[in-house]
Amino acid sequence: MKINAKDLWAGGLLMFLAVLGLYINGGFLGIGLEQHTLGSARRMGPGYMPMLVFWIQLGLGALVFFLALVNGPDPLEKWTKLDFVTLAISVAVGLIIWRVMESMGLTTNYIQVGIACFVALMVLAISPSWRPLGLVLASFAIFALLLEPLGLMLTIAALCIISSLADREHRVTSVAGMTVFLCILCWFVFIYELDIRVPLWPNSY
């Protein structure tokens, strides 16, 4: 059997994170924390969109996993000492920042977690092997942190810029085009069509 080890692990990780997200968001197959109200497609609750995204991720992860059984062989690359060190340091830095900010009680919980994740992922990106994953995930963290103070448009720009750094051969024109496209798309879908109340610009509430 020609197994693609990279895709096999990637698909398994996607499915694991999707199930974990479904469990935290509002339950998975009747088992979970039940923290967020799901609602329906017509009247979305705070947990509906994350639930939809996690189910899509679970499906895509399963697809990648099963295709990996016939797409190989493609073995995993060996980890270097830098890969191990940056992973260990990033986890430690994230946990320390989160615990320190929590003990100080200066910000809300999601800001504490967001800042801890962002700094940890930027540390992780020091390693060339971890760089793409670290910067893409860091862009998600910065999106969550900046959405309320800076508004949707500037936050999307920050997300695109940080995530584009994961590709060393990125072009400024491509990044600018993607930023404009996502700004228009998100405005049309979430603001115009769904009437979701998020600020477009700083202090635009």
pTM, full prediction: 0.73
Q: What is the DSSP string of 51-104?
A: HHHHHHHHHHHHHHHHHTTTS---PPPPPPHHHHHHHHHHHHHHHHHHHHHHHH
Residue 199 lies in a domain: no
Residue 147 lies in a domain: yes
Across the chain, mean pLDDT equals: 85
Within this chain, do residues 181 and 91 fall inside the same structural domain, yes or no? yes
Which of the listed residues 67, 93, 111 is the one where a domain comes to its end? 67
Q: How confident is the model at residue 37, as a pLDDT?
A: 62
Residue 100 lies in a domain: yes
- Condensed to tens digits (0 to 9), the pLDDT of residues 98-132 reads 888 888 876 677 788 889 999 999 999 999 989 99
The percentage of residues in the chain with a pLDDT greater than 90, rounded to a whole number, is 40
Within this chain, do residues 120 and 20 fall inside the same structural domain, yes or no? no
Which of the listed residues 67, 96, 119 is the one where a domain comes to its end? 67
Within this chain, do residues 141 and 170 fall inside the same structural domain, yes or no? yes
Range of the domain at 124: 81-193
Within this chain, do residues 90 and 179 fall inside the same structural domain, yes or no? yes
